[in-house]
Homo-oligomer: A and B are copies of this chain.
Amino acid sequence: MTNRSPFLLVLPLVVCACATTAPRFPSGAVVDMTYPFDEQTIYWPTEAGFQLKKEAYGHTPQGYFYAANSFSSAEHGGTHFDAPIHFAEGHPSVDQIPLEKLMGEAVLIDVTRQCAANPDYQVTQEDFAAWEKEHGRIPDGAIVLLRTGYGARWPDRKSYLGTEERGAEAVAKLHFPGLHPETARWLVGNRSIKAIGLDTASIDYGQSTLFESHQVLFAHDIPAFENVANLDRLPAKGFAVIAFPMKIKGGSGGPLRIAAVLGQGS
């Protein structure tokens, strides 16, 4: 029995290996990265904000309890999705983005330190290079999240946006970090990412007037997630993102429900 016992010992492990190669839906911890929509939800200074109307709440004549509401909103407010058509004529609307593009492996680039010192900070190619030096090249098909640290300021408009004023005149007073247009150009030319998101109100920084990072990314059909919550709970890599926007036909964007699943292998 000299040369048989090892086989018998190891065989169950091999069977187990086959079983685990059948994919199993991930069971890692889930981080909900979505702010609720309510009267505090931050919208652009030119927008009215989220409005909920209570249509029914209480016991009906038939005896059962019933609650229902209606609501109105701009597409771009709170935790939301920017579709390419938002800034790129002829490019996909929110309903035209396949969900495969909005799920999968993700990375987090933390620029909290840089942004703490400068509310007008724009994420540089060097920030990406520093991440890659430590963690390796951003994988093809990754979803990239930028953590500016501004999530800690939500829902204080003055601190989060740089101004609590409303209306068209307030736009020039916006101060918050974003992605530098040069970095956006480098990204679309040199990496193959599915989407990008961050914890500020816009992928372009508050002082932007031409929204060039939007233009560059959307011309390459890379959508953006804005006002993403809870980025402080994520590691630099080893997690997956699921980002499901409301399916508005022809929409330039819309409310987004976005979550991370931790402990995902790459």
Contact (Cβ within 8 A) B73 A70: yes
CB within 8 A of A13: which of B14, B37, B65, B66?
A: B14
- Residues of B close to A21: CB separation below 8 A: 20
Given A6-B6, A99-B30, residue A248 in contact with residue B69 (CB < 8 A): yes
Q: Is the interface of A mostly helix, strand, loop or mixed?
A: mixed
Let me know if A200 is at the binding interface, CB within 8 A: no
Number of copies: 2
The residue on B at minimum CB distance from A89 is B65
Q: Hey, what's the 0/1 contact readout for A1-30 against B, CB within 8 Å counting as 1?
A: 011111100110110110111111111101
Taking the closest CB of chain B, its distance from the CB of A154, in whole angstroms, is: 14
Let me know if A128 is at the binding interface, CB within 8 A: no
Let me know if A117 is at the binding interface, CB within 8 A: no
Given A25-B105, A75-B71, residue A209 in contact with residue B13 (CB < 8 A): no
Let me know if A174 is at the binding interface, CB within 8 A: no
- Residues of B close to A37: CB separation below 8 A: 246-249, 251
Can you list 23 contacts pairing A with B, beta carbon distance less than 8 Å? Answer: A2-B3, A6-B10, A10-B10, A10-B11, A10-B13, A19-B265, A22-B265, A23-B263, A23-B264, A25-B104, A25-B240, A37-B247, A47-B70, A64-B210, A65-B87, A65-B88, A71-B75, A71-B251, A71-B254, A72-B72, A103-B242, A242-B244, A246-B255
A residues with a Cβ closer than 8 A to B are 2-7, 10-11, 13-14, 16-17, 19-28, 30, 32, 34-38, 47-48, 52, 55, 62-76, 79, 85-89, 95, 98-100, 103-105, 209-211, 215, 240, 242, 244-255, 257, 259, 261, 263-265
17 additional contacts (CB under 8 A) given A55-B74, A65-B87: A6-B6, A7-B10, A23-B27, A23-B263, A27-B104, A30-B100, A32-B99, A52-B249, A64-B210, A66-B86, A68-B86, A69-B74, A70-B72, A72-B73, A103-B242, A246-B246, A246-B255
